[in-house]
């Protein structure tokens, strides 16, 4: 068995290092991760310049590009055989609800999924690695389960861990994505030269955190496991849009 591991926090991130250590006895592990933090990179690929792949002393490879670049380059150029699983994380912070659209952690896993490989994104919901050891224990369980009894469908799983000690985590729940309120306003600041600059504000609070959502599972103390799909087509709108453009089609 062979697992490709990436993340969006960068190859030096603790969540990546600890996850890789925990998975070592389950499979051969190859790490290809961004050189620097690319949280919020979404599925971006670098097309304006070539990418360098360098080797860290611990055996990790790092790329001066995005999470999607890392997995893409690994699958199309670096690995001599296809991995059985692509894993991303463990991210420093939640990737729930609408976060998943912006997330570089989810994007790295999504890149594996686009190549037809089962993929899992892991995130610890609070920043600061509070109970990373508990998150890693559950991540290891899920990976071991996928390797020994693979899902019958090729899946992209978005997994979030509550920031709790292992004995306080109640178990795992399969969830749907919740929804967030719009982001909070930008934060204005000034450069030493007097130019006004803007920081993107924090994500909004949960708007749909009802039963069955990832937000609800986390609040209740469960690990949240959401199967994702990448088909953006709004199938329910096809008929209406077709009618609407009808007059323009003659």
Task: State the residues that interact with Mn ion by CB under 5 A.
Answer: 8-9, 39, 91
- Taking the complex as a whole, how short is the minimal distance between the CB of residue 26 and Mn ion, in angstroms? 24
User: Which residue lies nearer to Mn ion by CB, 83 or 89?
Assistant: 89
| CB contact set of 18 (below 8 Å; sequence gap of 6+) | 90, 132, 133, 136
User: Which residue lies nearer to Mn ion by CB, 13 or 223?
Assistant: 13
| Backbone torsion region of residue 68, taken as left when φ is above 0, otherwise alpha when ψ lies between -120 and 50, otherwise beta | alpha
Q: What CA–CA distances, in Å, run from 9 to 38, 39, 70, 103?
A: 6, 6, 12, 11
- Taking the complex as a whole, how short is the minimal distance between the CB of residue 234 and Mn ion, in angstroms? 28
- Taking the complex as a whole, how short is the minimal distance between the CB of residue 13 and Mn ion, in angstroms? 8
Helix (H, G, I), strand (E, B) or coil at 29: strand
User: Which residue lies nearer to Mn ion by CB, 27 or 124?
Assistant: 124
User: Which residue lies nearer to Mn ion by CB, 27 or 60?
Assistant: 60
User: Which residue lies nearer to Mn ion by CB, 104 or 178?
Assistant: 104
Buried b (16+ CB within 10 A) or exposed e, 52-74: ebeeeeeebbbbebbbbbbbbbb
User: Which residue lies nearer to Mn ion by CB, 34 or 162?
Assistant: 34
Closest residue to Mn ion, judged by C-beta, is 39
- Taking the complex as a whole, how short is the minimal distance between the CB of residue 37 and Mn ion, in angstroms? 7
What is the 3-state composition of the chain as percent helix, strand, coil, each rounded to the nearest 5?
30, 25, 45
- Taking the complex as a whole, how short is the minimal distance between the CB of residue 92 and Mn ion, in angstroms? 5
Quickly list DSSP for 136-189: HHHHHHHHHHHHHS--SS--EEEEEE-SS-GGG--EEEE-B--EEPPPPPPEEE
What are 160's strand-pairing partners? Answer: 123, 224
- Taking the complex as a whole, how short is the minimal distance between the CB of residue 125 and Mn ion, in angstroms? 12
């Amino acid at each position: 068995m062979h697992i490709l591991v990436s993340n969006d926090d960068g190859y030096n991130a603790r969540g990546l290092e600890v996850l890789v250590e925990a998975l070592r006895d389950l499979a051969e592990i190859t790490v290809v991760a961004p050189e620097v933090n690319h949280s919020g990179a979404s599925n971006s690929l670098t097309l304006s310049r070539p990418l360098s792949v360098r080797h860290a002393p611990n055996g990790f490879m790092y790329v001066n590009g995005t999470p999607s670049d890392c997995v893409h380059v690994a699958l199309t150029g670096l690995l001599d055989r296809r991995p059985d699983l692509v894993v991303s994380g463990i991210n420093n912070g939640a990737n729930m609800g609408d976060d998943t659209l912006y997330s570089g952690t989810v994007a790295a896993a999504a890149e594996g999924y686009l190549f037809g490989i089962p993929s899992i994104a892991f995130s610890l919901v609070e920043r600061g690695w509070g109970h990373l050891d508990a998150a890693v224990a559950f991540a290891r369980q899920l990976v071991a389960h996928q390797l020994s009894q693979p899902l019958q469908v090729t899946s992209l799983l978005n997994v979030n861990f509550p920031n709790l000690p292992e004995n306080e985590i109640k178990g795992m729940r399969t969830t749907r994505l919740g929804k967030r309120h719009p982001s909070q306003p930008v934060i204005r600041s000034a450069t030493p030269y007097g130019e006004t600059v803007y920081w993107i504000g924090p994500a909004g609070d949960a708007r749909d955190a009802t039963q069955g959502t990832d937000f609800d599972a986390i609040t209740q103390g469960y690990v949240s496991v959401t199967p994702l799909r990448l088909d953006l087509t709004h199938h329910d709108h096809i008929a209406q849009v077709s009618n609407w453009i009808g007059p323009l089609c003659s």
